[in-house]
């Protein structure tokens, strides 16, 4: 069985790559080897090629389990995949391109009178007049404000009670009083968080009749919303019944011991495979999880926000609505266009699927009982894009010497033709064919290097949210 023990340090190593029918990728001299399977029916999947490091004769039961696991993954792949020229599997539940700010730069008689002068003698003619104006400002600053989660700009770097900003002496300086009053006016601006059911009903959303009624319409866009969400469903079991599917199979095991009680997790988010692997989706099945704290898999997705499509005078409020990092206008670069989805617990028996547009990272975990060992066993199925064809185990014969040697020894009837003391020297002459263990380890190292290099390149290409309202040129749009 293709398994690997990880002592808890660094990323998971890949023990063996197998394939089951579907598609391929093109990345260079090293790549994953996919396996092929055919599906006469969604519940009747058959692996038609071998899986690396899983002997078809010795591991027949495991092959049957993998077939059932693939059959269970197909419906979830149908749900998460969509064609590139369409608008996704599901329409947005909340359709908005901005938000309305209430009490933004609210009018108050205080701001008609109070000016940022350095001393009150310039502001007022008499001390009584200044005291009246100062008391008006104090009353305004001490007044109510919306709850923090509804504030358009909460000013998190300022104290909860703005009165703590000024000393008694500073209350006699109009410049300071004017500034704290402006802070209060900023905090008093609020907005309503967009909720589902406003633009369209749940029934309309389920039927795809949901676009064209945004709470806040697009300002300008190269791709305006159509009247309805037109989605072409994916049915892998029907569309590729004859051709079959290709799947890269990985079986991994992490073992923790009292001497090594912590798995540090993966340090970086990543997509699955290289470009030439053409991975479209991934399914992860948790075979066993014993004596471990909650194992979680975190996700993030690159999705740019373009300010020219949005309508909101307060960037912080818009960032809250879209759940992205707030940008400051004085920052050199806007925030990276990565949307965090948090993490999903990997409980025993769970089958989790996601498209390869998502970036994932396994988080750290440890032993629950540090005096006892624990382990995590996973099966990962990577679906190759069925519209492509990559080199698979249907094209490449097994490279393990022990597989070949046993078959060749039996086919040549060496035990019948030669004395046993001569059989072993003959077989020893081809111990490194088709591939030696050292060569296989070298190829694995190259593959891991290519994956890390690709990850760094992808990381460097992550875009940024476009937050500056640029002039709109219809010819360039």
Angle at the Cα of 48 from the Cα atoms of 39 and 19, rounded to 5 degrees: 95
Q: Is the pLDDT of residue 444 over 70?
A: yes
Q: Which helix (H) or strand (E) holds 55?
A: none
CA distance 343 to 365: 13
Give strand pairing partners of 255: 375
Residue pair 370/291 in contact by the 8 Å Cβ criterion: no
Neighbours of 433 (CB within 10 A): 12
Are 376 and 312 a contacting pair, CB within 8 Å? no
Cβ atoms < 10 Å from Cβ of 313: 14
> CA dihedral in degrees (322, 324, 326, 332; nearest 10)?
-130
Q: Does residue 261 sit in helix, strand or coil? A: coil
Report helix, strand or coil for 18.
Answer: strand
Task: Return d(Cα 449, Cα 353) in angstroms, integer.
Answer: 26
Least trusted range by pLDDT, from 27-36, 66-75, 384-393: 27-36
What is the distance between the terminal CA atoms of the chain, rounded to a whole angstrom? Answer: 54
Torsion angle of alpha carbons 89, 93, 94, 97, nearest 10°? 10
- Could you report the per-residue pLDDT of 56-76, keeping only the tens digit for each? 999 999 999 999 999 999 999
Q: What pLDDT score was predicted for residue 322?
A: 81
Query: Which of the two residues, 371 and 415, has the higher pLDDT score?
Result: 371
The phi, psi pair for 197, rounded to 5°, reads 90, 0
Is 456's pLDDT higher than 60? yes
DSSP E strands in 75-132: the ranges are 101-102
Is 176's pLDDT higher than 50? yes
User: What pLDDT score was predicted for residue 250?
Assistant: 94
| Phi, psi of 283, rounded to the nearest 5 degrees | -120, 140
Which of 26-30, 51-55, 106-110 has the weakest average pLDDT? 26-30
Given a cut of 50, whether residue 200 has pLDDT beyond it is yes
243-295: pLDDT as tens digits: 899 999 999 999 999 999 999 999 999 999 999 999 999 999 999 999 999 99
At how many degrees (to 10) do helices 401-411 and 420-428 cross?
140
Q: For 86, which DSSP code?
A: S
Tokens of 247: 């799947």
Confidence class for position 368, pLDDT limits 50, 70, 90: very high
Please tell me the predicted confidence (pLDDT) of residue 348: 96
Distance CA 430, CA 436 (A): 10
Structure tokens at 391: 């080199």
pTM given for the model? 0.79
Asked whether the beta carbons of 95 and 213 are under 8 A apart, the reply is: yes
Q: How many angstroms separate the CA atoms of 159 and 162, rounded?
A: 6
Mean pLDDT of 423-434: 84
Query: Are 143 and 120 a contacting pair, CB within 8 Å?
Result: no
Q: Residue 347: is its pLDDT beyond 70?
A: yes
Tell me which residue of 141, 142, 115 sits closest to 130, measured CA to CA.
Answer: 115
Q: What is the pLDDT of residue 9?
A: 42
The DSSP bridge partners found for residue 101 are: 191
Closest CA to 462 of 304, 234, 279, 323: 304
- The half-sphere exposure of 400 on its side-chain side, counting CA atoms within 13 A, is 14
Cβ atoms within 10 Å, residue 217: 16
Which residue, 220, 205, 208, is CA-closest to 94?
205
Q: What Rg value do the Cα atoms of the chain yield, rounded?
A: 31
């Amino acid at each position: 069985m293709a398994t690997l023990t990880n002592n808890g340090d660094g990323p998971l190593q890949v023990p063996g790559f197998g394939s089951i029918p579907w598609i391929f990728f093109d990345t260079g001299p090293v790549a994953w080897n996919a396996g092929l399977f055919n599906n006469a029916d969604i519940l009747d999947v058959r692996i038609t090629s071998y899986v690396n490091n899983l002997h078809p004769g010795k591991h027949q039961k495991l092959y049957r389990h993998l077939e059932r696991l693939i059959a269970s993954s197909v419906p979830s792949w149908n749900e998460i995949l969509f064609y590139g020229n369409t608008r996704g599997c599901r329409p947005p539940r909340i359709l908005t391109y901005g938000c309305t700010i209430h009490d933004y730069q609210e009018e108050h008689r205080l701001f008609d009178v109070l000016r940022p002068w350095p001393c009150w003698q310039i502001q007022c003619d008499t001390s009584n007049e200044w005291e009246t104006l100062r008391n008006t400002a104090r009353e305004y600053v001490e007044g109510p404000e919306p709850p923090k989660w509804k504030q358009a700009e909460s000013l998190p770097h300022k104290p909860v009670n703005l009165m703590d900003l000024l000393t008694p002496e500073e209350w006699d300086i109009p410049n300071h009083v004017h500034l704290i009053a402006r802070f209060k006016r900023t905090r008093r601006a609020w907005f309503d968080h967009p909720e589902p059911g406003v633009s369209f009903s749940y029934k309309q959303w389920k039927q795809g009749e949901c676009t064209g009624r945004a709470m806040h319409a697009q300002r300008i866009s190269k791709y305006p919303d159509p009247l309805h969400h037109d989605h072409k469903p994916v049915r892998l079991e029907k569309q590729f019944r004859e051709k079959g599917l290709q799947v890269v199979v990985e079986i991994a095991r992490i073992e923790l011991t009292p001497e090594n009680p912590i798995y540090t997790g993966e340090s970086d988010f990543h997509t699955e495979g290289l470009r030439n692997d053409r991975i479209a989706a991934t399914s992860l099945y948790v075979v066993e999880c014993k004596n471990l704290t909650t194992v979680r898999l975190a996700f993030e997705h690159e999705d740019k926000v373009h300010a020219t499509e949005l309508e909101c005078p307060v960037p912080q409020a818009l960032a809250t609505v879209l759940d992205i990092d707030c940008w400051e206008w004085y920052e050199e670069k806007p925030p990276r266009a990565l949307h965090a989805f948090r993490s999903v617990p990997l409980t025993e028996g769970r089958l989790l699927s996601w498209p390869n547009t998502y970036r994932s990272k396994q988080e750290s975990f440890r032993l629950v009982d540090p005096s006892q060992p624990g382990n995590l066993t996973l099966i990962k199925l990577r679906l190759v894009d069925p519209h492509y064809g990559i080199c698979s185990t249907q094209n490449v014969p097994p490279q393990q010497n022990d597989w070949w040697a046993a078959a060749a020894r039996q086919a040549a009837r060496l035990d019948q033709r030669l004395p046993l003391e001569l059989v072993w020297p003959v077989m020893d002459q081809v111990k490194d064919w088709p591939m030696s263990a050292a060569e296989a380890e070298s190829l694995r190292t190259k593959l891991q290097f290519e994956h890390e290099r690709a990850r760094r390149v992808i990381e460097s290409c992550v875009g940024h949210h476009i937050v500056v309202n640029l002039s709109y040129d219809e010819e360039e749009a």
